[in-house]
Amino acid sequence: MKEEFTEEMTTGQMARRVGVTQRTVQRWIKSGELQAKGIRGGYYVINPLDLVELSLPIRDDATPKEKRLSYDELYDKYIVVRFDMEDLAHRLGQAEAAIDRLNRRFAELSKGGGQRKTTTTRRKKRDTRKLLPYDYTPWRPFAKLHGIPESAVLKAVKAGHVFIERGNWLYGGRTVKQAFDYYECELFYNHFHAHPKFEECEDCPHK
């Protein structure tokens, strides 16, 4: 059964999402190529996968089967993009925080005539991250260690064969948002050990 994912967007937002003009999106809606239900304030309810599918280029020599990706292929690409967007949003937040700290430091030095203050009343922002639990491991390096592509792992997550824990942990000086626990490492092994690209590590089968 086909799962439905919906978002509420304006035609302008849809156009920016897939890199086409607003007039093109309006034409898709008017012609029925894009199923869209109008709601309040110029917003429409759509399936974002339908929007992505319509925006894909079609080669002149493509066969009818090649002209459009299957729903499962689109869903896999959609999941990969969503994971990448989460990572990018986190990195952007880190960059903005670093810029903010530099701006405050610059302002302090400017007020002090360039002289470094020996004392300060400003408290350092508390780091709310916890250390990654000992039985957790970041899932992307774990998959790479075993020779399994990220797309294959995400497809297994979609199918419910493998699960990913989410949090805000500190590991090796870096922030980790998604990881496997010991049980999920075992599920990973059970699902992928027969995969042609699978490579065993010294801890396999992760029991």
Beta-carbon contacts of residue 60 (< 8 Å; ≥ 6 apart) = none
* CATH T-level fold of 7-57: Multidrug-efflux Transporter Regulator; Chain: A; Domain 2 (1.10.1660)
pLDDT higher than threshold 90 for residue 55: no
Greatest mean pLDDT among 1-5, 82-86, 136-140: 136-140
Assess contact for 35 and 50: CB atoms under 8 A. yes
Assess contact for 147 and 194: CB atoms under 8 A. no
pLDDT higher than threshold 80 for residue 74: no
pLDDT for 2 equals 43
pLDDT higher than threshold 60 for residue 65: no
**What pLDDT, in 10s, does the model give residues 170-202?**
888 889 999 999 888 999 999 999 988 899 998
**What pLDDT, in 10s, does the model give residues 120-173?**
455 666 667 788 888 899 999 999 999 999 999 998 888 888 889 988 888 888
Assess contact for 24 and 15: CB atoms under 8 A. yes
What is the rounded distance in angstroms from the CA atom of residue 33 to the CA atom of residue 2?
Answer: 18
**What pLDDT, in 10s, does the model give residues 88-125?**
888 888 888 889 888 888 888 887 655 554 444 556 66
pLDDT for 1 equals 33
pTM summary value: 0.42
Assess contact for 139 and 153: CB atoms under 8 A. yes
Report strand pairing: 137-138 vs 44-46. unpaired
